[in-house]
Each structure stands twice: as C-alpha cells, then as structure tokens.
Amino acid sequence: MSAEAAPLLSVVIVADDHPMFRAAMLHAIDGMVAAGGVIEVASQSALDAAVEAAPQIDLVLLDLTMPGALGFSSLVRLRSERPEVPLIVISSNDHPRTMRRAQQFGAAGFVSKAAPAQTLREAVRAVMAGGTWFMLTQATLAQAERSEQDEQLAANLAQLTPQQFRVLMLLADGLLNKQIAAELGLSENTVKIHVTAILSKLQCRSRTQAAVLLKTLDLEDAQQA
C-alpha cells in the first residue's frame, strides 16, 4: 500500500465495464481512498443509481464506453446532475480532440488507459487540489480543430436540466413522446414541454436535428479532426 499521510478521498466512483481496468484503477489509487470508500459500476444505469444513492462523492473516474452510454453522454449527464463532483475521464481513446472535448464538456482531467499508474495518481492529486490534469500541449491542441463548435455544443448542453437530458437521450433513440413518458414516469404533456425546451436550448428546429446533434457526442466523431 502506498504511503499517504491520510486518505485523499472518502468516496470515489470507479465506472468502467471491464473488471481488469477497474482493478488497474483501484491499484493505481491504492492508499488514496478511505476503507470502504470505493463504489464500482459497470454500466450507465449502475452509475446513475450510484450517483443518486451516494450523498457524498469526492471523485468519479469515468470510462466513456460503458453499456448505456453514448460517448460523452455520461460526462455531460454527470456534470448536469452533480456539477460539484470532479470527474476524471479514463479512456483508451486518447486522441487530442477526445481529450479537448472531455475538457470542454466539463471533465477536470483526462488520463489514457495506456498511461502508467503514477500518472493517474498525479491526476487525482491535481484535481483534488482544485486544479485540472490533461495531457494536452500546444502541439496536441493544434490537432484538435473545430473547438469552437464543441464549445458551443457544450454550452448548449449545459443548459439542459437532468430530466431534459434523459428525455433527449430517449428522443435520440427514436422514442415518441408517449413512449418517453412511459419510460420516465411522466405525463405526455410534460414530455412535450421538455422537448420544446430542449429544441430551444440546443437551437434545433426539429427532433431529428436534436438527435443528430446528440450523436456528435460519439467518440468516433471526436477522432475526425
């Protein structure tokens, strides 16, 4: 166990659908988390439940490709629901634009899964000290074009309430208002109000345009720079 004066974290969520990578992250932060303070999740639904159940969360270590998530959707959703909780993206997709978009969508840090354990420890210390940690240099930033579009998308998505983001995710899956209402336990009229607000905040003219816009959160789009 690493020699730490005291645990840096009381509660941390480790979100990754691969047990091997979760184990690697836990090994990397060994000694930094209080006993019993790790919550492991392997899907978007499990992450949602953990975030809702835990009153105190010091940090989230987030993979971007869990079941139920669409690229950056988990990150955007977490920033909407728990904006006070810092989040570090842990991803095998370390393309410069992916890192840049993670930063724009509200992550406090980004660590490649190929990085050594010490890198994650450094990132955790930096973020918990109130800073950020990204493997971005001027050279890699030059490769991350279309940043202005990404900044506008991030700003628009940040205006959505957690419930509106849930509606948007279901809308993007092709569900009708009636189906969305049944899924979320809302009235059909409430869903209609949410959809109207979503289109306004995202500056979209139609449901289809909003769905297409959400698809740009996909990691494949992040590599097209």
| Sheet-wide strand order for 59-62 | 38-41, 12-15, 59-62, 87-91, 109-112
CATH fit for domain 147-222, picks 1.10.10.10, 1.10.3720.10, 3.20.20.140, 3.40.50.300:
1.10.10.10
Residue 1 is predicted with a pLDDT of 42
Residue 224 is predicted with a pLDDT of 43
CATH fit for domain 12-141, picks 3.30.300.170, 3.40.50.2300, 3.40.50.11540, 3.40.605.10:
3.40.50.2300
pLDDT in tens, the chain (225 residues): 444 457 889 999 999 999 999 999 999 999 999 999 999 999 999 999 999 999 899 999 999 889 988 889 899 889 988 999 999 999 988 888 888 889 889 999 999 998 899 999 999 999 999 999 987 654 455 555 555 567 778 888 888 888 998 899 899 888 999 999 999 999 999 999 999 999 999 988 888 888 888 877 776 554 443
Residue 29 is predicted with a pLDDT of 93
Residue 85 is predicted with a pLDDT of 95
H or E segment to which residue 39 belongs = strand 38-41
Cβ atoms within 10 Å, residue 91: 22
Question: Buried b vs exposed e over 35-49: b needs ≥16 C-beta within 10 Å?
Answer: eebbbbbbbbebbbe
Residue 7 is predicted with a pLDDT of 80
- Give the DSSP letter of residue 35: T
Residue 136 is predicted with a pLDDT of 62
Cβ atoms within 10 Å, residue 28: 21
Average pLDDT, the chain: 86
Q: Locate CATH 3.40.50.2300 in the chain.
A: 12-141
Residue the block writes with tokens 């240099």: 137
∠ CA 171-18-35, rounded to 5°: 105
d(CA 24, CA 117): 8
d(CA 91, CA 126): 18
Residue 100 is predicted with a pLDDT of 85
pLDDT in tens, 50-100: 999 998 999 999 998 899 888 898 998 899 889 999 999 999 888 888 888
Indicate yes or no: pTM above 0.75. no
Residue 5 is predicted with a pLDDT of 59
Q: Is 101 left (phi over 0), alpha (psi -120 to 50) or beta?
A: alpha
C-alpha closest to that of 125 among 57, 32, 40, 37: 32
Q: Locate CATH 1.10.10.10 in the chain.
A: 147-222
